[in-house]
Amino acid sequence: MAAEPQWDLGRRRRLARILSPASGRAVVVAIDHGLFIGPLPGAEDLTQTVAAVAAGGADAVQLTPGAALSAGRELIGPGRPTLVLRMDATNVWRPKPKANPIYHARVASPMDAVRLGADAAVCFLFVGYENDRVEGENLETVASWASQCRELGMPLVVEPLALQPGGQPVRDPDLVRLMVRMAWEAGADIVKADYTGDKESFRRVIRSIPVPVLVRGGPRCDTVEETLIMVADALEAGASGVVFGRNVWQQPDVPGAVRAIRHLCHEGGTVPQALALAGQAPAGGGR
C-alpha cells in the first residue's frame, strides 16, 4: 500500500481540530465582517467578541489577519477555539455607485495561515460576475490557493456565493448545487454554503460533493429559535455544522447562543433544549 503524502497528516490533524472526531461536525463563528462592511454592533471590540465566543465553546473562529494578530490571545490555551484565517476581501456588501465594479482582493496567503497558527484558511468563490473574465480570475485564485494549501497541509474552506443582479436568488437550490460543486472541484476541503430553505433541496446540495458542508449564516435571523430551527433542519439534511456570524454575536447572550448551537451539532439535542441553553423559551411550543 502506497504511503500517504507527508502533508496529508498535517491536513488531517488540522481538520480534526475543526470538525470534532466524535460528531464529525463543527461550530465555527465568523467575525471577519469588519473587512467588508466595517464594525458592526456586537463586533466593535474584537477581543471581547472572541472571548465571548470562546466562552461558549466554539470549535473555531473565522478572523482576518489583523483581527487574528489583535485578538488571537483569546485563542491560546486548552479548550480554546482554533483559527480559520480569512484570505480575501470584497466590496460586494458596501453601498457603491453602479459604475464601480465588484472587486475580489487577496489580503493573506496560505503561508500566512501557517504563520498565524491557523487550522484552516477560507476564501470566497463568487459566481455570476457581470464579466466572466473576472469570475475566471476569482476561480484561478481559489485554485492557486488550493494548490498552496495542499503543499502546506492546510485545509481550505471555500465560500461560494452568487452575484446575479436581477437573477436567481442566492438560495436557489440549483444555483447552490452548481456553486458548491465548483468550489469542491477547485480544491475545497470544506464548503461553506447557504441553506436552501428546506431539508430535501439541501440534502441534494450536500450529496453533490464528497466533502463536509457547513451552513453559512448569512443575514441575521429574526429570532434565536428561527436560527436553531435552521441549524436542526440543515443537520438533518446532512450538514456538518455551521459558520455563523451575526446570528451568534448579535444575540444578547453570546456564549449561550454558541452553547445552544453546540448542543444541536455535537450532542444531537432538540431545538427546545438548545433554546433553554440560550436562555429562551420556544415561541411555537417547541419541536
Pairwise CA distance, residues 167 & 178, whole Å: 15
CB 158 within 8 A of CB 142: yes
Pairwise CA distance, residues 243 & 122, whole Å: 11
- Whole-angstrom CA distances from 277 to 52, 58, 95, 219, 263 are 15, 14, 37, 22, 8
The set of cell numbers assigned to 190 is: 470544506
Cα–Cα nearest to 43, from 75, 9, 71, 23? 71
Pairwise CA distance, residues 203 & 133, whole Å: 32
Geometric angle at alpha carbon 48, from 35 and 89, rounded to 5°: 10
Neighbours of 132 (CB within 10 A): 9
Concatenated DSSP letters of 134-148? HHHHHHHHHHHHHHH
**Which residues are marked as active site?**
192
Q: Which residues pair with 61 in a beta bridge?
A: 29, 83
Counting Cα atoms < 13 Å in the Cβ hemisphere of 145 gives 34
Q: Which residues pair with 60 in a beta bridge?
A: 28, 82
Pairwise CA distance, residues 225 & 248, whole Å: 12
CB 224 within 8 A of CB 260: yes
